[in-house]
A and B are shown apart, each in its own frame.
Chain A
């Protein structure tokens, strides 16, 4: 039975979008983000509690009986669209999606995993998977054999606890017991660090077999919903570019009246139409537990990561000199889009996944 996807937005989803958008406008305007990105703590003051607990966004994926909102990936995707639009620093993709989905997939209803899940869902604590941001879902197994510190762990700075894959299972290690060494990130809105948990015992949440599948599932949800962040980001880039080219006069006319630029923006719009369908399909397939969820996720990633990069690059170019300046937010989007392109499996990786799933093998 193939799943008939719902690719629209529900009224509830629209209402959630409005709430998140106005919160972000309030707490994480571009200027607020720019002001903080070099401080070592880029997360806008008060944003996370208001988003995670106030709006309840941290618990969207978690059933009510486990302490969450009992919503789904569809709603979480809407939150990510908004976070992408604002290029806001928040441990949402890493904490409320990848880590939360991993714990959910362990299936525990009591014990340490369930307790931690309830805390995450309530926005009381934040967990991050101790793995490089680049890790693709299918690379989950390899994490369990990895030695040494995990590099390029996103949002480690915001984590209270790390989910650490070890050969005999998945562990929860309090951040205070881990050595966290910040790295200088290309995307200043998603801080990176090397995380070394070798010195900490931690609490075992699940055995290796179970944990591998759960981490893979967590990363799959991350990759699928990352497409929504990319969609939101691209959408902002296009809107901002349209606005600018309408207002900017050169040659005694708005530069947006030049057909060469109109066509560029119209092409971006076409890309966005596709990106929205792909991102919605991925969110819906994850929510429904569809049989073809992995394929749908890979399609969304393979498509949306390029769209976001293209939109951000065009945004810089069509702004001219001002687009090259630190004070204009276009570079926030450019750096996020470029980093997102590497996150949770590259487009090429997802194409390879698709090749296997739809029987289009590479030449021998």
Chain B
């Protein structure tokens, strides 16, 4: 059932039963999910067929050729890349069946209520409190930098359930209803002019215990699943040669010979090589990952992605000279989706600055590589065995 030929056949059957040209987009996506062709490596009944992940490409190619609609992954990146794998790994049967289908079809957008003003790189220091009250938890606190909170129906949330324990041990992981009256979302404007992210104030938010993921106090471990998947999903996308940022700069170079200089030529070629090597590294990593879970090696992609996006967009602004001095639009908007390679060179330059901060900073990821991949001893720490309530902030 799970070889390429069978999948191809199944995909054709889906297309025959629900011809994209005459089927409502959402109906098609639901049918695709129900046929197990959403993410074939997911379990049967949850949009998948327990098939090897690598076979997704067979389905995608078949669907693309038929002009089938997709689930607009850029709009629901946090749901697909972070919430879904965590729900799959830790959700009860009910939770998984309730949430995964509308998550995948894009009917319900997700956001990530992790970072706080006092807990960014040191996420485990978070102070948002969740207190048990009957069958519910009551949550109070403040989150920040929450991308898509303004479009989200649900959030993955981590909160402190025991302040007397050392910080990594007193955290619990929840699914939070963004329509709860205690959730207040305020836009936070970015250096691009847009407000992609938000501050989220949580006041007396009630979460049923059934929406807890993992054991009480085990939230840090659950969050690792989210974070590892986040790092792979930022920068892990499969791209053709000259896809992504380098394609933009290369196009300017080819189209506008008058802008060319010797100095920029050398820089462009060096970055072109780096981008091509990053693409090949991604392909190799993907081949390694096809069967298993993402490991810390996934961090390498995000590290390279951030550095390259910044260097290439910076070069593109320089190359554009007079045109590099202008910006398309500073209007404050709350975008529905984010495209790192969208808009103009100035936007790409500014937005890419976030690539080395969001999803774990470059410095923190380098520490992870040094300690978990290379096995170097960690820096001496004074925060691991102290009760959370006694830590400095």
Taking Cβ atoms with an 8 Å cutoff, the residues of A that contact B are 38, 132-134, 151-152, 183-188, 192, 249-253, 255, 258, 260-261, 309, 313, 316-317, 320-321, 323-327, 330-331, 334-335, 338-339, 341-342, 346-349, 351-352, 362
Contact = CB atoms under 8 A, between A and B. Distances in A.
Contact of A250 (B121, B191, B327): B121
A341 B121 contact: no
A152 B326 CA distance: 8
B325 A342 contact: yes
Nearest to A302: B263
Given A321-B144, A331-B191, A362-B262, A186 B121 contact: no
A251 B325 contact: no
B191 A184 contact: no
Instruction: Find the residue from B120, B327, B329 having the highest chain A CB count within 10 A.
Output: B327
Given A252-B382, A321-B145, A342 B353 contact: no
B115 A187 contact: no
B51 to A, nearest CB: 39
Contact of B330 (A38, A317, A349): A38
Contact of A341 (B318, B327, B367): B318
Interface string B309-330: 0100010011001101111111
A338 B264 contact: no
B191 A324 contact: yes
B349 A338 contact: yes
A348 B317 contact: no
Contact of B120 (A38, A250, A338): A250
Interface in B345-393: 346, 349-350, 353-354, 356-357, 361-363, 366-367, 379, 381-383, 386, 391-393
A186 B327 CA distance: 5
A320 B361 contact: yes
Contact of B325 (A134, A252, A258, A313): A134
Nearest to B393: A249
A330 B354 CA distance: 13
B171 interface: no
A248 B185 CA distance: 25
Contacts of A327: 189
Contacts of B190: 324-326
Contacts of B382: 252-253
A321 B120 CA distance: 8
Contacts of B149: none
Given A250-B125, A327-B189, A346-B318, A320 B325 contact: no
Interface residues of B, number: 51
A187 B207 CA distance: 45
14 contacts: A133-B322, A186-B317, A249-B392, A251-B381, A251-B383, A252-B386, A323-B353, A324-B357, A334-B350, A335-B350, A338-B317, A341-B318, A348-B263, A362-B262
B330 A188 contact: yes
Give the 6 A-B residue pairs with the shortest CB-CB distance, closest first: A348-B263, A252-B383, A331-B191, A250-B122, A326-B189, A186-B327
Interface in B322-348: 322, 324-330, 346
Contacts of B262: 348, 352, 362
A317 B357 contact: yes
Interface in B72-128: 115, 118-122, 125
Nearest to B382: A252
Nearest to A254: B392
Contact of B357 (A258, A321, A331, A339): A321
Interface string B242-277: 000000000000000000011110000000000000
A223 to B, nearest CB: 15
A334 B353 contact: yes
Contacts of B321: 134, 342, 346
A323 B325 CA distance: 21
Contacts of A341: 318
Nearest to B353: A316
Contacts of A38: 330
A251 B121 contact: yes
A125 to B, nearest CB: 25
Nearest to B266: A348
Contact of A325 (B189, B318, B367): B189
B55 interface: no
A347 B263 contact: yes
B133 to A, nearest CB: 31
Given A251-B122, A252-B392, A320-B121, 17 more contacts: A183-B325, A184-B328, A192-B326, A250-B120, A251-B121, A252-B381, A252-B382, A253-B382, A253-B392, A255-B121, A258-B363, A260-B367, A331-B191, A334-B191, A346-B321, A349-B261, A352-B262
Nearest to A328: B191
A261 B329 CA distance: 34
A309 to B, nearest CB: 7
B357 A152 contact: no
A251 B393 CA distance: 9
A185 B356 CA distance: 25
A99 B346 CA distance: 28
A185 B310 CA distance: 20
B294 interface: no
A327 B199 CA distance: 13
